[in-house]
């Protein structure tokens, strides 16, 4: 789960692939963007939590830290919140909603499994390792019923519509309503 040289090679390979200068990298169990997402959450929780506590109990904490720390905590807290929301509405939306092969939602969170062809395409290195170790068969699961997939796809369209509406409302408020 820690970053390593393979992540760097996959990142560079992904940039080349995005620009049409090379093949798609053979991703394994964890991609570099997933690791970044997971570590960003812990970093964000620590920042939001610590500065939030400082802002929640300023009288207590100013016994130990100078008063200007409240101003710094306010800035860090609001900027980290804005960064988190911006990250969710850009990177997360792209990875779970806007990628053509996932649109309108990646149903793996609800169906508890990845279709075999999708797994072979998205994680070729992990697929090959499982085949070589003879573990693929024991990890196979039956595909979800088509009605279940249709239900979650419809849910995905609804969630996407709500999310895009909220973005539009935030932009409207920032441009026209917030003074």
N residues, the chain = 179
**pLDDT at position 96 over 80:** no
Query: 32 burial class (0-12, 13-18, 19+ CB within 10 angstroms)?
Result: buried
The whole-number average pLDDT for the span 3-29 is 93
Distances (CA, A) of 35 to 31, 128, 146: 6, 21, 31
Q: Check if the beta carbon of residue 133 is closer than 8 Å to that of residue 95.
A: no
Q: Which residue has the higher pLDDT, 58 or 31?
A: 58
Per-residue model confidence (pLDDT) at position 51: 96
CA–CA gap between residue 61 and residue 114 (Å, rounded): 48
Tens-place pLDDT, residues 35-81: 888 888 888 899 999 999 999 999 999 999 999 999 999 999 988 98
Per-residue model confidence (pLDDT) at position 101: 77
Per-residue model confidence (pLDDT) at position 55: 96
Per-residue model confidence (pLDDT) at position 178: 67
Q: Give 178's DSSP letter.
A: -
Tens-place pLDDT, residues 116-173: 888 899 899 999 999 999 999 888 888 888 898 889 889 888 988 898 898 888 888 8
Per-residue model confidence (pLDDT) at position 100: 78
The answer to pTM > 0.85 is no
The whole-number average pLDDT for the span 23-30 is 91
Per-residue model confidence (pLDDT) at position 163: 82
Tens-place pLDDT, residues 33-46: 888 888 888 888 99
| Six-digit token string for 94 | 């792209």
What band does 22 get if pLDDT is binned at 50, 70 and 90? very high
Residue 4 has phi, psi (to 5 degrees) of -145, -175
**pLDDT at position 89 over 80:** no
| Boundaries of every domain in the chain | 102-179
Query: Count of alpha carbons within 13 Å of 21, Cβ hemisphere only?
Result: 6
């Amino acid at each position: 789960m820690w970053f390593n040289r393979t992540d760097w090679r996959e990142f560079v390979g992904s940039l080349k692939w995005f620009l049409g200068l090379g093949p798609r990298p053979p991703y394994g169990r964890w991609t570099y963007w997933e690791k970044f997402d997971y570590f960003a959450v812990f970093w964000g929780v620590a920042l939001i939590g610590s500065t939030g506590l400082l802002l929640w109990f300023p009288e207590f904490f100013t016994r130990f830290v100078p008063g200007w720390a409240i101003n710094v905590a306010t800035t860090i807290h609001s900027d980290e919140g804005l960064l988190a929301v911006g990250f969710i509405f850009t990177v997360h939306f792209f990875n779970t909603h806007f990628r053509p092969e996932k649109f309108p939602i990646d149903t793996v969170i609800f169906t508890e499994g990845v279709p075999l062809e999708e797994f072979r395409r998205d994680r070729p290195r992990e697929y090959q390792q499982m085949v070589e170790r003879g573990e693929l068969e024991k990890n196979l699961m039956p595909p979800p019923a088509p009605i279940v997939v249709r239900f979650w796809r419809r849910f995905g369209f609804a969630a996407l519509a709500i999310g895009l509406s909220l973005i539009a409302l935030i932009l409207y408020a920032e441009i026209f309503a917030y003074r």
